Amino acid sequence: MSDRFIVLMRHGEVAGGPRFRGACDDALSAAGWAQLRRAATREPAIGHIVSSPARRCADFARALAAERGLSVDLSAAFSERRFGDWEGLAADQIPAAELTRFWDDPVGYTPPGAEPFAAFRQRVLDGWQALLAAGAAHTLVLTHGGTLRVILAQVLGMGDGSGIQVEVPPACVTRLRLPAPPGRPSLVSHAASAS
């Protein structure tokens, strides 16, 4: 059995600029569409697409699937962490003390009304394990920065809070190699979309 690859791609820029978006279902900006189109051209061998159901992921996933004659599976497991009272807010709209607590302890501090990190992590990793078990070759997953960080932390054996230190810009592409058992997933590349 040959190696499989899973490509994790963060959505592109979103209309309305940077904000805490978990449950917010904002659409991609024109720049976000262009970023994803550039990133997707570097992934010609994709045979299967999985996407978060959020519009900023699913709209592009559906368009790419239609272009390539593929199906797309929507999976809530790959949705972003829900941010409760912070949904839709830019960082400068959140009290500095609360935001500092979050950046200092993203695992232990839960913003008001937000999804606890432990629940978010478990949801994402359940989806990751299901994806691994499905065995599809060369899968593209359209997802979010927080989700991508959880998967990377798992694959690389990083502590739960360490993922926040990994930069995941819009349209970032992370390629993981999945060797035949008993091999373990490994990071092949992690790069921002070409400007």
Question: What does pLDDT average to over the chain?
Answer: 92
Give the Cα-Cα-Cα angle 180, 144, 97 (nearest 5 degrees): 130
Look up the domain containing 172 and give its range.
4-191
Starting at the edge strand found earlier in the chain, the sheet holding 4-10 runs 72-74, 48-51, 139-143, 4-10, 173-178, 186-191
* pLDDT value, residue 67: 95
* pLDDT value, residue 31: 96
Domain count, the chain: 1
d(CA 96, CA 102): 10
The model carries a pTM of 0.93
CATH number of the domain where residue 98 is located = 3.40.50.1240
The type of residue at 169 is P
- As a whole number, mean pLDDT of residues 139-148 equals 96
* pLDDT value, residue 194: 56
* pLDDT value, residue 137: 81
Q: pLDDT exceeding 90 applies to what percent of the chain?
A: 76
